[in-house]
Amino acid sequence: MLRFLKVAFLSLVMTLAIAADKLPSAYDGYADSAISNSYQNMPVQLYGVAIKWNKDCLGGKAAQCQRLGDAFVEGLGDLEPSVRVALGYYLKACSLGLGNACATSATMLRDGEAGPPNPALAGDRASHGCTTLNDSASCAALGVALFRGDGMATDKARAIALWDAACAAKADDGCRLKAGALFHESSDAASHKTAVALYDTACKAGKAWGCEGMMLAWDRPAADRSRDDEQVAYYAQRGCLETSGDTTSLCGRYGALLIASGDYPQIKRGEPMLKAACLAGDGPSCTGLGTYAIERASGLSTKRKQAAGYLRRGCDLGEMAGCAALGKAYVEGNQVSLNEAAGAALLRRACSNGDAPACQLATAHGAPPASGMAIDPSLPSSEQLALARKAVDSGNRKAGFDTVAMLAGESVADAQWLLGGWQYYGQAGLYDQPQTESGAAMIAAAAAGGNVDAAIWAGMAHWYGDGLEYDRDKGLRYMAIAAPSSPMAMAIYRSMKAQPIREENARRQKEMEEAAKQRKQSWSYSWQTFDTSSSSRTSSSYSSSSSNSWQSIASMRDQSDFNQMIKYYTGGTSVCPSYNRYC
């Protein structure tokens, strides 16, 4: 999610976090406000210094509007992350004359980051930033609208001219967009050659998008070159380890190549990369890991029973090979319960979207033309779960339950959380009597799979021994899963981390009180037996020393977390903390 924002604002936000005199803190006051993001008038909760930034923004200071936009993307300090709020501030900054904010808001509107895509307004803001404010990044964004015909008449020649000018002005997006359009949208050899030259220059300059382009160029046969696995591997490795920007797909491909080598140490390095890339939203990485797991690749720690979950995630991310592999698993009953109807639906989806092997599989297995299932199992899992809940609430319990149970069997964490809740607390017509033991186990599985609500539930249950065994270490680990995605979970996690300090302070307080009592008794005894002729005195001393330090947990950007994980597994650092969701 937020692929563009993840890359574009990383350095800016990190600079802001370091340079700011103070972070927005609830301890410094609270105020309500609102900002329009073109979809709605968004309510805003402001804390501390952000109240002043907002006042300055509404007073006409564009830089402060942009600052708030960046802060709400990041979730800076105590501000709750919200791209919808951030878009409002970027639009405000654009209207006040900040060209870069026009480019940012245009991209968010075009890609539907904060609501349904709005190509007309996206084009308008890009045009304003480009023609009125002379901003190169806005001109690059305007080129996208012109090339696609989004909200305006298609004009590919002008689009490329805008990208050329933006690229010449050192606007990285101009070069990237021009290369992408020529490589992916054009079929002539000259366009392909120009794109590859742009990719090569960018890769040599340490830009991830350039190395990714070179990797793809060597991965696909062309008129002037044949496919070269060594070059693919070279650019995947170089892009993953030596460039800045969005390295997700590069590291996923590099991880897959390390696993494919069959060398055990290399597999141990590659598997975490593939998992992290999948978690970051790279469909091919999810499909690759699921395929390796289901085929029992030697040396892999990922279990075969987890394979379906990775294939489903790949399918949900639009990777048709993932849909096909999951469909095959269902028609063969391989690591999932045999379900020819579900398999047929998945194979048809992959086939209709151009996956030739899926078409062959559907024919070979004699897959029926219609699934006959109330809820289409080829839909993304989030859509299936929404329909399942609606079905159960409306009385069609079997249809809803069958879908949720099927997805839970694939290890889809959101389905496990829903099914576990039904079991633990009871659900009329499904579990008339609560099944707390199986429900708690299902919720724990959902938490381990990354469901934030389940992780909070399991963390608290282990912490207090309520529903799950009393185990503070497990409670802390589960809460660490949820902490990066939930301000509430982060607050609980910090409190849990501080519990030993509180207990040590309480122990010391009790010890000091006991020592004071003993000193008083000693003094009383000495007074009662005081002998002026004696030169000796009974003395007692009390000393205690301890050092406790508070390790604050900074909120880092997603790409920073991903890059830290890569450094950890490739020897660049010895630390990968538990609150990093990729570790």
Burial of 539 (0-12, 13-18, 19+ CB in 10 A): exposed
Supply 267's token pair.
């597999």
pLDDT of residue 259: 93
How do residues 278-311 score in pLDDT, each as one tens digit? 988 899 999 999 999 988 877 888 888 899 999 9
Task: Read off the pTM.
Answer: 0.72
User: Which stretch of 31-35, 426-430, 536-540 has the lowest confidence by average pLDDT?
Assistant: 536-540
Cβ-count burial 491-504 (b if 16+ within 10 Å, e if not) = ebbeebbeeeeeee
Taking Cα atoms as reference points, which of 81, 3, 1 lies closest to residue 382?
1
Mean pLDDT, range 160-180, rounded to an integer: 87
Taking Cα atoms as reference points, which of 100, 104, 137, 106 lies closest to residue 121?
106
| Helix/strand/coil for 507 | helix
**How long is the chain?**
583
How do residues 433-468 score in pLDDT, each as one tens digit? 999 899 999 999 999 888 888 888 888 888 888 888
pLDDT band at residue 547 using 50, 70 and 90 as cut-offs: very low
Taking Cα atoms as reference points, which of 74, 280, 228 lies closest to residue 50?
74
Cβ–Cβ under 8 Å, residues 422 and 428: no
Burial of 4 (0-12, 13-18, 19+ CB in 10 A): middle
pLDDT band at residue 503 using 50, 70 and 90 as cut-offs: low
pLDDT band at residue 566 using 50, 70 and 90 as cut-offs: low
Cβ–Cβ under 8 Å, residues 389 and 359: no
Q: Which helix (H) or strand (E) holds 291?
A: helix 283-294
Supply 199's token pair.
């990719």
pLDDT of residue 378: 92
Cβ–Cβ under 8 Å, residues 375 and 308: no
Question: Does residue 140 or residue 151 have the better pLDDT?
Answer: 140
Please give the backbone phi and psi of residue 231, each rounded to the nearest 5 degrees, phi first. Answer: -70, -40
Cβ–Cβ under 8 Å, residues 346 and 373: no
pLDDT of residue 367: 57
Mean pLDDT of the chain: 83
Instruction: Write the single-letter amino acid at 322.
Output: G
Cβ–Cβ under 8 Å, residues 493 and 483: yes
Question: Does residue 243 or residue 480 have the better pLDDT?
Answer: 243
Cβ-count burial 358-370 (b if 16+ within 10 Å, e if not) = bbebbeebebeee
